[in-house]
Amino acid sequence: MLNEKTIAIIQSTVPVLEKHGLDITKRFYTLLFSKTPELLNLFNHANQSQGRQQTALANAVYAAAKHIDKLETILPVVKQIAHKHRSLGVRAEHYPIVGQNLLQAIQDVLGDAASEEILQAWGEAYGVIAGVFIEVEAGMYQDTEQKEGGWADFRAFRVERKEKESDVITSFYLVPQDGEAIASYLPGQYVSVKVEIPGEEHTHIRQYSLSDVPGKPYYRISVKREEASASKIAGKVSMYLHEQVKPGDILRLSAPAGDFTLNLEDTRPAVFISGGVGLTPLVSMIETLASTNSGREAIFIHAAENGAIHALKQQIEELAGRSAQISAHWCYREPTTEDRERNAFHKEGYIDLAWLKEIIPVKDAAFYFCGPVPFMKAVYGYLKEWGIPAADIHYEFFGPAGDLDAE
C-alpha cells in the first residue's frame, strides 16, 4: 500500500494531469512504440491516429491520481479495461515496459516540474495500480481458460458463411476449426478478431460484439464496412473482412469478453437504443430476453440513415411480431423513397427526448445504448434530462472509453 506522503504527492499532481495529461500520453505512446514496436501488434492503429487511445489513457491516469487514496472507487473501470486487455492478450510482463515509458513521458513533458520526488511517487503508485490490473486480469485468464469450451489467447475459427445484412453491414458466422465446443457468453459481450492482412507489417486486432443469442454452435459478428471519408481513414480490418475474407477462411478469435451485459435478474422493462452498427450487442440482448420467455417488456429503438443501411431489422421485427411484450421503433435521418412508400420507419430526423417519452411507457426501466460517440452523448443527455438514475443507464463505447459528460 502507498504511504500518506506518496498519496499526497500523487494528488498534488492532479491539476497538472488535467492540463497536460493528453500531452503525456501522446509522448508515452511515441516512446512505447519506438522502443517496443512489437506492441503495435496489440493496438488499434486507427485509434492511435485519431487520438482516441491517448485520450482514454489520459482519462484513466487522471482518475487513478484523483482516487489514489481509494482505488476501489475505480475498480469498475479497471475491470472494463481488464476485459479489453484479456481479449487482446496483454500479459503481466507488459506492465513494467508500460511503467518505464509512462514515467519517462511524465519527465519529458513536465521537465523540471517533474521532480525526483514526484517521479518516485508515481513509480510507486504505478506499481500498485499495475498490481491491481495484473491480479484482475490473471483471474480473467484463468476463468476463461477453465470455462467449458473456453481457451486462452487466440483460437482458430472458420468462416462458415457470410450474410449481407445491409448495404454496409455483413454478418460472419464463425465455427471452431477444431470442431470442439465453444464458450458461452453473456449477451452484450464481444470477441477480439486477430488478422494478418497481406502487405501489412503488423497484425491487427479488433473487437466485435457478438450479435446473436448465446448457446449456439457458432459465434456471429456483424461488421460495418468502414470506408474512408473526409473525416476518417478506412477501417483496415473491416474492409479486409468485407472484401477479402470468404467462407472457409480462418480467423483467430479471443474468448468472449466485456462487462456491457444484460442483467437478466432485473424484471423491469429493458430499453435498447442504438445508432448504426451499435445495435449489434443490443440485438444479442433482446434476442436473449425473447428466448427466456420471461414476459419482461422490451423496447428496441434504432436510428439509421435509411432502410438500406439498417441491418438486422427483420430479425427484430419478427421478435416484436411474436411477442406483445416487445416493440420496435425506427428513426431514419434521410429515409429513401422506398422507405416512405413502405412506411418502413416511425420517425424522420434524429432521436429526441420528446419522442423517447412517447414510446417508452415508464421511466422505471433499465436503459442500454450503443452507437457513434455523438449519438451516445445525445442519448445520455436525454436520459439525464429525463431524470433516469445513473444506475439504470448502461452503455458501451466501440473502441477506447470516452467521457459522455465531456463537451
Q: Annotated active-site positions, please?
A: 95, 137
Ligand-binding annotation for 208, yes or no, is: yes
DSSP 43: S
φ, ψ (nearest 5 deg) of residue 10: -60, -45
User: Would you say 281 is a known binding-site residue?
Assistant: yes
Q: In the 8-state DSSP scheme, what is residue 168?
A: S
280 is in an annotated binding site: yes
Establish whether 389 is an annotated binding residue. no
Cβ–Cβ contacts within 10 Å for residue 257, how many? 21
* 20 known member of a binding site: no
190 annotated as belonging to a binding site for a ligand:
yes
Q: Is 206 annotated as a binding residue?
A: yes
Whole-angstrom CA distances from 244 to 195, 254, 341 are 11, 21, 36
- 399 carries a ligand binding annotation: yes
> Annotation-wise, does 325 bind a ligand?
no
d(CA 110, CA 70) in angstroms, rounded, equals 26
Distance CA 286, CA 311 (A): 15
6: Cβ contacts below 8 Å, ≥ 6 apart: 121, 124, 125
User: Going by C-beta distance under 8 Å and a sequence separation of 6 or more, which residues neighbour residue 236?
Assistant: 45, 46, 197, 200, 204
Annotated binding residue at 279? yes
Residues paired with 205 in a beta bridge: 194
Is 85 labelled as part of a ligand binding site? yes
3-state secondary structure labels for all residues of 235-296: CHHHHHHHHCCCCCCEEEECCCECCCCCCCCCCCCEEEEEEHHHHHHHHHHHHHHHHHCCCC
Inter-axis angle of helices 14-35 and 52-66, nearest 10: 130
Residue 274 assigned ligand-binding role: no
Element (H, E) at 63: helix 52-66
Q: Which residue has the cell 418502413?
A: 344
DSSP state of 157: E
Where is the binding site for heme b, in residues? 85
Where is the binding site for FAD, in residues? 190, 206-209, 397-400
Where is the binding site for NADP(+), in residues? 276-281
Where is the binding site, in residues? 85, 190, 206-209, 276-281, 397-400
